């Protein structure tokens, strides 16, 4: 394996961004971050002009803070992916991930609870990935914990999902949520192989509602997970739930990842 590049998922500081986006991005840059991963800027129902305007405004603020974009979370339309393609081009990234099933037009939180639902979902995602690939953009899927729910026949939804998705669809593995689901993140990354090009990295008690803690202080063996990835280009630190200061935790996570020697700035 080769070292992955450090980034930060902007959802980690969503409230600060809503209050002062330029200042928040500058603060992330001052902590030493060079790349960010924006969360979805809209839905498939968002007018294309509005979505493009939002992307241009964000890109301007990122330029002011001298921040690049690792990848971006997007919504997928049932029809044309032109807006998603334009968003990626404006932000300057060639990689996009769908972070939850209900950001895909026509699907909801129950999309992965049956074989038929998963078959329909993977068909839509694979078709979108083919369209994006024609524009030079790679599409992937980001897990939470619910993908490991058992289907009526006992199979894990996660396994059926990845067996049905086109091979070109990439994976962004959230190691924390995999552990919450009772999985070994290193084994998940091994199972996905070269499809796993990004990882969301965070630590804590690995329980659904537990607060996350600095990397190296919780139950997640992040070094083992990173060593298991064969093509992890992006090492993305993220916070979902926390009882401490978010910027302090991001700074601690950055320091821990760089000190481990598996991540580069």
Per residue in 242-254, pLDDT tens? Answer: 989 999 999 999 9
Q: Under DSSP, is residue 49 helix (H, G, I), strand (E, B) or coil? A: helix
Report pLDDT for 35.
98
Q: How many other C-beta atoms are found inside a 10 Å radius of the C-beta of residue 124?
A: 19
Strands (E), the chain: 4-9, 35-37, 68-69, 72-73, 95-98, 138-142, 170-174, 196-201, 234-237, 263-264
Report helix angle 115-134 to 157-164, nearest 10: 40
Per residue in 145-165, pLDDT tens? Answer: 999 999 999 999 999 999 999
Query: Could you tell me which residues come within 8 angstroms of residue 54 by beta carbon, excluding any fewer than 6 positions away?
Result: 41, 42
Per residue in 21-63, pLDDT tens? Answer: 999 999 999 999 999 999 999 999 999 999 999 999 999 999 9
How far is Cα 176 from Cα 184, in angstroms, rounded to an integer? 10
How far is Cα 203 from Cα 175, in angstroms, rounded to an integer? 9
Task: Return the bridge partners of 50, or none.
Answer: none
To the nearest 10°, report the CA torsion of 236, 237, 239, 242.
170
Residues in the chain: 265
DSSP state of 211: P
Alpha-carbon 68 to chain mean position? 16
Helices (H), 115-221: 115-134, 157-164, 175-180, 185-192
């Amino acid at each position: 394996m080769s070292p992955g590049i450090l980034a930060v998922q902007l959802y980690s500081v969503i409230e600060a961004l809503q209050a002062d986006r330029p200042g928040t991005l500058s603060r992330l840059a001052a902590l030493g971050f060079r790349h960010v991963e924006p969360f979805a800027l809209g839905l498939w129902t968002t007018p294309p002009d509005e979505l493009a305007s939002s992307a241009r405004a964000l890109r301007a603020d990122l330029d002011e803070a001298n921040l690049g974009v690792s990848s971006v979370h997007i919504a997928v339309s049932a029809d044309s992916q032109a807006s998603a393609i334009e968003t990626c081009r404006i932000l300057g990234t060639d990689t996009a991930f769908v972070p939850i099933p209900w950001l895909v037009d026509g699907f909801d939180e129950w999309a992965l609870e049956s074989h038929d639902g998963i078959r329909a979902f993977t068909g839509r995602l694979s078709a979108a990935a083919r369209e994006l690939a024609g524009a030079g953009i790679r599409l992937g899927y980001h897990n939470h914990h619910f993908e490991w729910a058992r289907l009526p026949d006992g199979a894990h939804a996660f396994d059926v999902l990845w067996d049905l998705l086109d091979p070109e669809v990439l994976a962004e593995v959230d190691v924390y949520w995999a552990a919450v689901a009772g999985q070994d993140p290193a084994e998940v990354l091994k199972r996905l192989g070269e499809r796993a090009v990004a990882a969301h990295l965070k630590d804590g008690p690995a329980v659904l509602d537990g607060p996350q803690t600095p990397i190296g202080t919780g139950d997640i063996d992040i070094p083992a997970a990173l060593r298991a990835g064969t093509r992890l280009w992006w090492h993305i630190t993220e916070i979902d739930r926390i009882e401490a200061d978010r910027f302090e935790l991001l700074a601690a996570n950055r320091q821990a990842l760089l000190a481990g020697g598996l991540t580069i700035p």
